[in-house]
């Protein structure tokens, strides 16, 4: 418990001026395993100053040279995958295989970002007028901030860091104080890979640090992932202070099951998508919408069997299906949500609260998968994001009703449909009002070279994460109109230039 996770600034640990510390827990036992130093606004001022100075040199590197740093980072990260996964798992609670997946999905965006020499190319038009050429260039914004959540302590920081660095920006990363060690280790590894010190800095903190980043005049853009209320606050504050912002919030992801679907395939998909990582994913499926009573009865029976057979274990397990929740507050929130569902009249088919702690998990925040049937859209169980291993079944009489259920929710992050009917799948993909759609894919997270982002209350901002959007977000376009002297004597003109 004596270990303190410090800020990481100018390529080394940094204490800053604050003496505030926050506990970092072991979710397997509910005990404090280390502490993290929380910054203050004056620390943010120093870190941004360091970042701005380092960014000028970094931006002068050509894109291919910057990409080589990302390539060397990929080598280091793959070599140290097991150590990173163990560290991530110990603070978050997700199992070791899931922790490796967290890291791998982040590394895939770093791989995409190594294409910066191509992705940063501008456009060129010759002879736009007599002797006139027009071309554009993409240039970095300067210093950007990334505010990332606890549930993906490797993936989401890497989603922000990779494109931002590849574009020539400096990054101030404010990770979750719940599991801060992996983000710091990532920053260390970037320096080991050749990133100039000060280009990527990590400052820990709570609302004080976040608000200081949002109003700082030298922060050009802010990327955020977290709950919707905070996403709205970050977006409105950042944009009010002239910053570019992409902010992603909560979710209530639906999975429609049509009568012609392979029921075992759908049940297996829901089992992993709803209860994996103890439901602590913004892309988790928390609502199943079977079409027709016969479909619903069959699906619920299969889900109940799978829920009762889930293996709940310590986060350092290679074989457990899910580990503990991240903290006592998360455990209490999920238990309250389950009880509210019971009180509102939903049918609790499997109660995950009855699962005991595994061996070596005394005091930990363990919970099995809960399954509710006959949930209605007016219940809090359906309306609210629970962010835990709870799956609600909302029965629909037909496809049109199922589509209305999915479209009627205020969140629009991800959605899926399981069917053998190509016409139905195509209609669904076209009409459903969400940012990401899966067809017989339960967690429709796009691959790294496509874009990730939700609609409605799940996303704020015009540009999404990773894919081509990320390079647009982290650069600004400059357009140059050029003509070299050629002996032409036009004389003064008082008319706006046109293509004629």
Per-residue pLDDT tens, the chain, 500 aa: give them: 459 999 999 999 999 999 999 999 999 999 999 999 999 999 999 999 999 999 999 999 999 999 999 999 999 999 999 999 999 999 999 999 999 999 999 999 999 999 999 999 999 999 998 889 999 999 999 999 999 999 999 999 999 999 999 999 999 999 999 999 999 999 999 999 999 999 999 999 999 999 999 999 999 999 999 999 999 999 999 999 999 999 999 999 999 999 999 999 999 999 999 999 999 999 999 999 999 999 999 999 999 999 999 999 999 999 999 999 999 999 999 999 999 999 999 999 999 999 989 999 999 999 999 999 999 999 999 999 999 999 999 999 999 999 999 999 999 999 999 999 999 999 999 999 999 999 999 999 999 999 999 999 999 999 999 999 999 999 999 999 999 877 666 677 778 877 66
Answer yes or no: 247 catalytic.
no
Strand order in the sheet with 253-257: 347-350, 370-373, 390-393, 285-290, 253-257, 414-418, 436-439
Catalytic residue among 69, 210, 282, 312: 282
Phi, psi of 421 (to 5 degrees): -95, 105
Query: What integer pLDDT is reported at residue 129 of this predicted model?
Result: 87
DSSP code, position 446 = P
**Dmax (CA) of the chain:** 88
For residue 237, the Cα-to-chain-centroid distance in whole angstroms is: 20
Domains and CATH numbers, the chain: 4-249+458-480 (3.40.605.10), 253-439 (3.40.309.10)
Q: What is the pLDDT of residues 179-199, one digit of tens each?
A: 999 999 999 999 999 999 999
Helix H segments across 361-439?
A: 380-383, 399-408, 422-431
Question: What whole-number distance in Å separates Cα of residue 28 and Cα of residue 361?
Answer: 5
| Cβ within 8 Å of residue 147, ≥6 positions away | 174, 210, 213, 222, 223, 224, 225, 226, 234
Name the residue among 368, 326, 432 with its Cα closest to residue 89: 326
Name the residue among 151, 134, 337 with its Cα closest to residue 227: 151
For residue 457, the Cα-to-chain-centroid distance in whole angstroms is: 15
Q: What is the pLDDT of residues 249-299, one digit of tens each?
A: 999 999 999 999 999 999 999 999 999 999 999 999 999 999 999 999 999
pTM of the shown model: 0.95
């Amino acid at each position: 418990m004596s270990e303190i996770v410090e800020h990481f600034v100018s390529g080394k640990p940094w204490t800053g001026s604050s003496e505030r510390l926050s506990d970092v827990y072991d979710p397997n036992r509910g005990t404090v395993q280390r502490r993290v130093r929380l910054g203050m606004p004056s620390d943010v001022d120093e870190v941004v100053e360091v970042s701005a100075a380092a960014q000028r040199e970094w931006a002068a590197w050509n894109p291919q040279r910057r990409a080589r740093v990302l390539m060397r980072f990929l080598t280091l990260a793959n070599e140290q995958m097991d150590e990173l996964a163990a560290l991530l798992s110990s603070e978050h609670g997700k199992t070791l295989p899931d922790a490796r997946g967290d890291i791998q999905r982040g590394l895939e965006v770093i791989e995409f970002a190594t294409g910066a020499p191509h992705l940063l190319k501008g456009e060129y038009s010759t002879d736009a007028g007599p002797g006139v050429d027009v071309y554009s260039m993409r240039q970095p914004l300067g210093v950007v901030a990334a505010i990332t959540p606890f549930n993906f302590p490797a993936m989401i920081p890497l989603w922000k860091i990779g494109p931002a660095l590849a574009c020539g920006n400096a990054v101030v990363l404010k990770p979750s104080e719940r599991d801060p060690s992996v983000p710091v280790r990532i920053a260390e590894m970037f320096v080991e890979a050749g990133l100039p010190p000060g280009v990527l800095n990590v400052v820990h903190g709570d609302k004080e640090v976040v608000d200081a980043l949002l109003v700082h005049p030298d922060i050009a853009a802010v990327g955020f992932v977290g709950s919707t209320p905070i996403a709205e606050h970050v977006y409105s504050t950042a944009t009010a202070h002239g910053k570019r912002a992409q902010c992603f919030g909560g979710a209530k992801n639906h999975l429609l099951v049509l009568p012609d679907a392979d029921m075992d395939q759908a049940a297996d998909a829901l089992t992993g998508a709803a209860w994996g990582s103890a439901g602590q994913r913004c892309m988790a499926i928390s609502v199943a919408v079977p079409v027709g009573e016969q479909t619903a009865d069959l699906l619920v029976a299969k889900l109940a069997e799978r829920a009762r057979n889930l293996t709940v274990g310590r986060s350092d397990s290679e074989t457990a299906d899910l580990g503990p929740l991240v903290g006592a507050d998360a455990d209490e929130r999920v238990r309250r949500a389950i009880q509210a569902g019971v009180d509102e009249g939903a049918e609790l088919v499997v109660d995950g609260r009855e699962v005991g702690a595994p061996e070596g998990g005394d005091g930990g925040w363990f919970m099995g998968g809960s399954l509710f049937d006959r949930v209605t859209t007016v219940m809090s169980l359906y309306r609210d994001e629970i962010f835990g291993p709870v799956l609600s079944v909302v029965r629909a009489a037909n496809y049109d009703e199922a589509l209305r259920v999915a479209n009627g929710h205020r969140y629009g992050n991800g959605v899926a449909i399981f069917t053998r009917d190509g016409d139905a799948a195509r209609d669904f993909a076209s009409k459903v009002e969400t940012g990401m759609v899966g067809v017989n894919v339960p967690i429709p997270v796009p691959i790294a070279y496509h874009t990730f982002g939700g609609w409605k209350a799940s996303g704020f901002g015009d540009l999404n994460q990773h894919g081509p959007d990320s390079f647009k977000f982290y650069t600004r376009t400059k357009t140059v109109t050029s003509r070299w002297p050629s002996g032409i004597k036009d004389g003064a003109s008082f008319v706006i230039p046109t293509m004629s």
